[in-house]
Amino acid sequence: MNNWGRIKGGLNSPGNTKQIKKIKYTANLAEFLGILFGDGNSYVKKAYKVGVYAIRIVGDSRYDKKYIVRYVKPLGEHLFGICGKISYSKVSNAIILSFYSREMLHALKKLGFPSGNKIQNKLTIPLWIRNKKSHLKKFIRGLLDTDGSIFKMSNKYPYLLRIDFTSHIPSLLNEVRSCFLEMNFNPSNIISGKHFFLSRKADVLLYRQIIGFSNPKHINRAILLASVIAPSSSGQILLKTKG
């Protein structure tokens, strides 16, 4: 059989056979799921006795490189014991973090992140995250670190900041907004069927206090915008961002 070696190599490739660490339902795992719900995807490409099992997280290399390389990659490697690989698109500014593991893909499916189209899968927050506040907060952090943004509302009022969450998954968008309401935030109504805002100063401060950011892009932007806010009596900026 002339192609026996190639078939055996495919079946026994590290991506197919490497064992992952025992899954622990931690807040860090919830944050990783939030990242995947935002900028991640998983897929299976099968051929004759050979398959490619991949989990990918895609960001903008101009703004997300530090976050993906220094935070998301080590986080995924720690949680699953699988080495991630960084690559760059030749036709866009995309930076791509990939984990090749059949076992990791199957584990993520059990955790609530199935392979395939996220919109068609009608993703919702997994119950093991939804029912525990500490996990839910970290999940939202991962989600907004990838599918969220922070900016000033206008040049006229530069001290008023706004956090925006955008998703093209209606089930997820509605559920996340409901979670904010449950945590005593005041989110806007859903606009154009794809996003909502946190616009009140108290909400932006509350977000920092109980959820926070892990993405340096958001941390740096919040610090820059917060520099126009009057300092407190102690001389500290009122809006801190590292949570």
> Domain spans of the chain?
1-116, 117-243
Average pLDDT of the residues in 45-50? 67
Residue with tokens 């606009």, as numbered in its chain: 191
Name the pLDDT band for 243 (thresholds 50, 70, 90): very low
Give the torsion through C-alpha atoms of 75, 80, 81, 82, to 10 deg.
-90
Q: Residue 129 phi/psi, 5° resolution?
A: -95, -45
Distance from chain centroid for Cα 26? 15
CATH number 3.10.28.10 given to 117-243: yes
Domain 117-243 in the same topology as domain 1-116:
yes
Highest averaged pLDDT of the listed ranges 29-33, 167-171, 230-234: 29-33
- What tokens appear for 17 in the block? 């056979």
The long-range contacts involving 179-188, CB below 8 angstroms and separated by at least 24 positions, are 179/125, 179/130, 179/136, 179/140, 183/137, 183/210
Class of CATH domain 1-116: alpha beta
CA 68 to chain centre: 10
Average pLDDT over residues 38-47: 85
